[in-house]
Amino acid sequence: MQVKNKTHKKLSLRAEALKVGLVVSRFNGEVTEGLLRSAKAALKDYGVKEKNFTVVSVAGAAEIPVALQKLALTQRYDCLVALGCIIRGETPHFDYVCKMAQEGVLRVSLDFRLPIGFGVLTVFNLKQARSRFHVGGEAVEAALELAGLKV
């Protein structure tokens, strides 16, 4: 199946048989629900059947890496996707959560040699976040592409 992404490239992926795990944070739920809708639409566009993907919900972006690690340990998935939203506030907490999420996702991906699409938004305000729901689909696309990579 060929699907156009935001850069108008056509990706030829045979993703029907791939197993995908999605981890989505509940914090900033309006945004993460939009990311999840976008991710599910991309999975459908690439032919991934609903029975072949699992959605796991966690409290916030800082918890995403642990959930990814638990999914990776099952060895049931061809790729994973991280979905979350961190909005800058008045304290340095934003910086710590961003660092934990990004480094944790990277560590799980490298430790398990498992593609993980990174759909964790790091934005200054809710308006910016609302305009980036499409990132959920882009994270799915990146994960599927790596899962199907032949080297």
14-53: b (≥16 Cβ within 10 Å) or e: ebeebbbbbbbbebbeebbbbbbebbbebbebbbbeeebb
**Of the listed 6, 76, 93, 107, which one is catalytic?**
93
For residue 134, count CB atoms less than 10 angstroms from its CB and return exposed for 0-12, middle for 13-18, buried for 19 or more: middle
Active site annotation includes 93: yes
Cα–Cα distance between 121 and 150 in angstroms, integer? 29
Catalytic residue positions, numbered? 93
